[in-house]
Amino acid sequence: MRKAVLKEAVKRFPWLANVTLYGCLFAGGDFVHQMIAQREEMDWKHTRNVAIVAISFHGNFNYFWLRALESRFPGKSPGMLFRKLLLDQSFASPLATSVFYTGVSFLENKDDVFEDWREKFLNTYKTGLMYWPFMQLLNFILMPLYLRTVFMGCCAFLWATFLCFSRQSGDGTASVALAFVLYPKQRLQAAREAHLARKKQKEEEEQQQSTDN
């Protein structure tokens, strides 16, 4: 019964249902990350910021992007699927990753909103290439157009967990994220120490440059 109601809601209100579900699932990924991290207190502000970025950009962008792809490259022939995947991974994926890192940093009022992006974008994009092409292939083959953003949201639940970990504690690589899941406390401490060391080194280099000038 609930499944039928949800399906009918997505059909009648496709934009609202797709964007809302996408944002909720993305925020849920941050919640799961914090649970795995075994934090003493939940950082609800970070979850709120993730939800804002997901609803205001990711959900809306993917809703219209997937429709534009299907309009330009309709059907499920190998050639059309290849074109959709190529465009999706060469344009949409790096854009979405960039907006996540910079958008959440902007909402947190960081002095340098591009810091996380510079340090972790490339690794995150490479990790995404091991995940999203396969998910999107299933999306393009199996899902009707009105359900594709919802399907992406379901896939993004796991991806958001990884993104939130990478932004706060990791470096954008799957190996560090996996080690974190297996040994959360030890790896979290090591990741934080490594991040602080990189930050300190960067500050020292900037001070040295200022002195030289």
pLDDT at 102: 95
Q: What is the pLDDT of residue 213?
A: 64
Enter the pTM of the model. 0.79
pLDDT the model gives residue 170: 74
pLDDT digits (tens, 9 = 90+) for 66-93: 999 999 999 999 999 999 999 999 999 9
Phi, psi dihedral angles at 78 (to 5 degrees): -55, -40
Read off the pLDDT of residues 147-192 as tens digits, 9 standing for 90 and up.
Answer: 888 888 889 888 988 888 888 777 777 776 676 666 655 555 666 6
Long-range Cβ contacts of 137-144 (<8 Å, 24+ apart): 137/81, 137/85, 139/66, 140/76, 140/81, 140/84, 140/85, 141/76, 141/81
8 Å CB contact between 116 and 105: yes
What are the pLDDT digits (tens) for 34-47? 887 766 678 889 89
* Confidence band of 5 (pLDDT split at 50, 70, 90): low
- Report helix, strand or coil for 93: helix
pLDDT digits 0-9 by tens, 88-123 = 999 999 999 999 999 999 999 988 899 899 989 999
Does residue 1 carry a pLDDT above 60? no
Average pLDDT over the chain, rounded to whole?
A: 84
